[in-house]
Amino acid sequence: IQWCQVKSGRVQWVRQGRRIFHFDGYNQMTETLANVHVVDLDSQFRPLRALQATRATYDEKMHRWKLNQVKELRFSGHTGGRIESVIRTDHMTYDLPIDTDHILSIKRRPDEMSVRELERYIEHGKATGSSIRDFLVAWHFNLAFPLASLLVSLLGLSFAYRFERTADMVWS
């Protein structure tokens, strides 16, 4: 299994043999993957089958993933990869080689991210329904900390100009 993580840290790609898996994000609270794509390839790297699911939830009992709102595309290998059929189902179980512990280990902590990275995570989390609380807290902290130091500096300046320093203050 080969893992690839794109710059933003959100998109995950996994390759296992002639199969490529992709998902947009992982929600730790609900243990679900968002926007799952699976592509089976032939020896010439042409698609044979593609699965698209809006969500995948890991089933501990079956040790398989349950895909929701699945669209399956079947391609004809000998005609240049044209779509032969499209099948839609509400639910399907599938063996994704994705370990949730591994997903959590490669995920960057919110306090390690810049404001722009946090904004992308928050935007993406809202779109996919993922938990964004930690990212919102980090975003507010990253903005509030510099503003707080500016406020304290301005407060110090006001005290510096309010009291006049004299030699009597030093000796008393």
- CB of 122 closer than 8 Å to CB of 132: yes
Per-residue pLDDT, 11: 53
Single-letter amino acid, residue 120: R
Of 87, 98, 40, 39, the residue nearest 65 (C-alpha): 98
| Residue 137, token pair as written in the block | 């807290």
Per-residue pLDDT, 166: 60
Residue 10 confidence (pLDDT) above 70: no
pLDDT in tens, 138-165: 999 998 888 888 888 888 887 777 666 6
Mean pLDDT of 129-137: 83
- The percent of residues in the chain predicted with pLDDT above 90, rounded, is 19
Per-residue pLDDT, 30: 79
Per-residue pLDDT, 66: 93
Mean pLDDT value across the chain: 79
If you count them, how many residues does the chain have? 172
In angstroms, the CA 119 to CA 142 distance is 11
